[in-house]
Chain A
C-alpha cells in the first residue's frame, strides 16, 4: 500500500494515533506521528508514491512533529520535531512543518546510517550507470540534478549517495528535493509539469519549495545502481560549458571530504573510495545552461 491509497483524513487519523504511520524511503523506514494537518497535507502530496509499512515492522527512526505545549500557541504558534526522543532543532513557525521534517529526517539518516558509506551528493542513473554529483557550495547541484531527472534519467537522491560496503552498490533514497530561491522558477520553467509543493519563505536557506520525485524513480527505489561517473558541478552565470577530467589523486581526496562519514568508516571507507575512483570517470563541470550541461553529461554517459 502507498500513501496515495490513504485519503488525507485517513493519513491524519493514522499519523495522529499513538502508533503513527510507517513509511519506507528505500534504505530506511521511519515512523511518523503528527497532529499537524497542514504539514500532513503537504507530506501526503510530496510522499504520495512511497510505500506504507505495516505497523508491526521494524523501523529505523521515530519522528514526531507537533506543537510544543507552550504559550506560543496563542501568538506565533510553532512546531517542533522530536527525533528518536531528542529535540536537536529549535522550533519552527507552524507553517514550516515540512522543511523542519525534512531536516529532521536528514539528521536521523546522517547520524544512524553508519552501516553505509554516505556521500553528500545527488545521484542519478541512466543505462545502468550511476552519476554522482557531489554537493559543493555554488554547485547548483539540486537544480542540475532536478533538471537531469526531468530528462530521462532515473532519480536516486538529491542529498545522500548511500553506498553499500559489501558490493559498492548505490541504494536509492528518492525523497523530495528542496529547491531554493531562484531554482524554484528555473525548474518550473524547465519542466512545467513537475510538482513543486508549497513555498516556505524565510528559512535559513531562503525560500524553499520541494520538488516531488518522479513516480517511476520511487517505484524502482529498491533497484540499486553501479557508480560510473563522478562529476563535480559548478554553476557560473554566463560561462561556456567546460568539462575537465580530474586527476585521480585530486578526485580521491575531494570525495573523502564530500563524505558524511568517511572518518567513521575507517578502512572500509578508504577501500570503497579506492574502488570508486578506479571504476568511475571523474570530472569537473563548469556550466551556465542546464540543457548544455545535460547534453554534456549524456555524452559522457553514452561514451562509457
Chain B
C-alpha cells in the first residue's frame, strides 16, 4: 500500500481493518501508523487501540513516537478511570444510609466488574439508576452532602424534569465529575419502554460493595439501546466497540449468552436495537455470532427501514479518512440526528425543543 493510495481511498478504514485483525499491525509502515492514530483520535479510540496492541503483545514493533502516543492515551484513560471509581467511592459513602438499590451503569459498571477492555476506555461521567420512587430521595441526599445541580437555566431544569422525566446531572464541586441519576435505561419519553422492575430484579451485586450492576444481558441491551435509539450514531464507532467487547467477554464466560440475550430482548421489548447490534458488530468488527441467521432475521425491521439503516449507519457511524470529509457523511449524520430525537421524544416535544436548540446555537455563534 503506497502513501498515495492510503490517502486516496476514503472509504477504506485502516482502523476497522486493524480492529478486525490486530496482527496486521506487524506489517504497518509509518504511513499506516499515522493514519491509524489520526483516525483513532478522531473517534476517541486511541486508548482502545493502545490496549489492543498491548493485549496482542505488539508493543515491541511500535515506532518510538507511536509507542509514546499510546502510553499517553492509556495514561489519560487511567486518569479518567481513577476519577470515575473515586466518584463511585464517594457516592457509596454519601449514600450509606440510602436503603434502596443503586445500580451503576455503563463505564462505571465495566470498571467495577474489572472487564479487561475497560482499561482502554475513556469515561466522562458516572451513571447510576434507582427506582423512580426513590429519585427525589437520592437527589436530596446528595444535595445535602454538597453535590450541586449542573443545570441552572430554568428551561434546562424544566426540560429534564417535566419533558424527559429525569433530574439534571449533579456534580461535587471538589471533583467536577458529572453524576447522572436515571430511573430507567432510556429516556422515559422514548417509544421503547423496557420495564425497569425487570432490570432491578436481575441486577447483580459486585464484590462486597453496596451498589449493583445490570446483569450481563441487560448491560448489553442498555448499550445497544443507547447507541441505536438514544444517539445520533455520528462517529460512534467506540460505542460499537463496547458492544463487540461486551459480547466477546460474556460469550467467553457462557457460550449460550447470545441465546439468553435474544430471550431477554423479547422480555424487555428491545429486539430492534438488538438486531442492529448483531448486524453491525458482526459486519464491522467481525463479532462472532453464535445465534442463527434466521433468529436474527426474525427481529429485523421491515424493508424500507432496513435499507435506510444499512445505508446510513455505515456512513454516519464509521470514522472518516481525516483527509477526506464527505458531504454524504454529513447528510447521513444529520438524518440520524433527527431520527434519534424523534425516537427520544414525541413530535409535540421535539419540534419546540429543536427550535430552541437552533436558536441557542445561533446566539452562541453571535457572542
Contacts and interface: CB of A to CB of B under 8 A. Distances in A.
Interface stretch (B65-73, B165-173, B209-217): B65-73
Contact of B75 (A60, A84, A264): A264
Nearest to A56: B30
B78 A266 contact: yes
A85 interface: yes
A112 B76 CA distance: 9
Interface string A261-281: 001111010000000000000
B30 A60 contact: no
Q: What secondary structure prevails in chain B residues at the interface with A? A: helix
Nearest to B68: A115
B34 A115 contact: no
B82 interface: yes
B42 interface: yes
Contacts of A266: 78-79, 82
Contacts of A85: 42, 322
B303 interface: no
Contacts of B82: 266
Interface in A255-304: 263-266, 268
Contacts of A265: 75
A21 to B, nearest CB: 15
Interface string B10-47: 00000000000000000001110110011001100000
Interface string B111-134: 000000000000000000000000
B30 A264 contact: no
B30 A57 contact: yes
B18 to A, nearest CB: 15
Contact of A58 (B3, B34, B41, B71): B34
By size class, the interface of chain B is 20 to 34
Interface string A38-66: 00000000000000000011111010000
Interface residues of A, number: 18
For the complex of A and B, the 3 pairs showing the least CB-CB separation, nearest first, are: A114-B72, A115-B71, A115-B72
Given A58-B63, A266-B82, A112 B30 contact: no
A29 B79 contact: no
Given A60-B65, A266-B78, A112 B72 contact: yes
A113 interface: yes
Given A62-B38, A114-B71, A266-B82, 17 more contacts: A29-B65, A56-B29, A56-B31, A58-B33, A59-B65, A60-B69, A85-B42, A85-B322, A113-B72, A114-B75, A115-B75, A263-B79, A264-B75, A264-B79, A266-B78, A266-B79, A268-B75
A144 to B, nearest CB: 31
A84 B79 contact: no
Contacts of A56: 3, 29-31
A59 B38 CA distance: 11
B288 to A, nearest CB: 33
Interface string B270-301: 00000000000000000000000000000000
A263 B72 CA distance: 13
Interface in B70-100: 71-73, 75-76, 78-79, 82
A266 B81 CA distance: 11
Contacts of A112: 69, 72
Given A29-B65, A59-B65, A60-B69, A114 B41 contact: no
A169 to B, nearest CB: 15
A268 B72 CA distance: 13
Interface string A54-89: 001111101000000000000000000000110000
